[in-house]
Amino acid sequence: MESTLLKLEQVNTHIDQFHILQNVDFEVKSGEVTVLLGRNGAGKTTTLRTIMGLNGATSGSIVFKGENITKLPPYEIAKKGIGYVPEDQGIFYDLTVEENFRVGMRKDDDGTKERMEWVLELFPDLKKFWRKPGGQLSGGQKQMLSIARAYVNDNDLLLIDEPSKGLAPVIVEKVIESIDKMKERTTVVLVEQNFYMASKLGDAFFILDDGITVHHGRMEQLIRDEELKRKYLGIA
Partner 1 sequence: MMQKVQKSTWIYLLFSLVLVVIPFVKDERWFLFLLIQIFIFGIFAMSYDLLLGFTGIVSFGHAMFFGIGAYSVGITLERLEPTFFSFLLGIFFAAMAGGIVALIAGVLTLRLKSHYYAMLTLALASLFLVLAEKWRSLTMGNDGFTFKIPELPEGLQDHRNTVIYMFCLLSMILIFFGLRRLTQSPLGKILQAIRENEQRVESLGFRIMPYKVIISVISGVVASFAGVLYAISLRFVDTSVFAIDVTLDALLMTIIGGVGTLVGPIIGAGLIEFAHHYLSELSDVHWIFERWIILFGIVYILAVIFFPFGIVGTIQRSFAKRKQRKQEVTKSKKIAG
Other C-beta atoms closer than 10 Å to the C-beta of 93 total 11
Binding mask 161-200 for partner 1 (x = CB under 8 A): ----------------------------------------
Which of the stretches 99-107, 190-198, 205-213, 216-224 binds partner 1 when contact is defined by CB under 8 A?
99-107
Sheet holding 204-209, edge to edge: 82-85, 157-161, 187-191, 33-37, 204-209, 212-218
Strands 4-15 and 57-64: antiparallel
Distance, in Å, from the CA atom of 35 to the CA atom of 170, rounded to the nearest integer, reads 21
38, 43, 60, 104: which one binds partner 1 (CB under 8 A)? 104
Residue 26 or 84 having the CB closest to partner 1: 84
Binding mask 121-160 for partner 1 (x = CB under 8 A): ------------x--x------------x---x-------
86, 140, 202, 211: which one binds partner 1 (CB under 8 A)? 86
SS3 99: helix
102, 181, 218, 230: which one binds partner 1 (CB under 8 A)? 102
Phi–psi pair at 120, nearest 5 degrees = -75, -25
Residue 64 or 205 having the CB closest to partner 1: 64
- How many Å separate Cα 59 from the centre of its chain? 22
75 lies in the binding site for partner 1 (CB under 8 A): yes
Distance, in Å, from the CA atom of 72 to the CA atom of 88, rounded to the nearest integer, reads 23
E strand or H helix that includes residue 196 = helix 195-201
212 lies in the binding site for partner 1 (CB under 8 A): no
Residue 146 or 213 having the CB closest to partner 1: 146
Q: What does the angle CA 45 – CA 85 – CA 201 come to, to the nearest 5 degrees? A: 80
Which of the stretches 60-68, 101-109, 117-125, 197-205 binds partner 1 when contact is defined by CB under 8 A?
101-109
For binding to partner 1 (CB under 8 A), which residues are involved? 52-54, 73-75, 77-79, 84, 86, 90, 92-95, 99, 102-104, 106, 133, 136, 149, 153
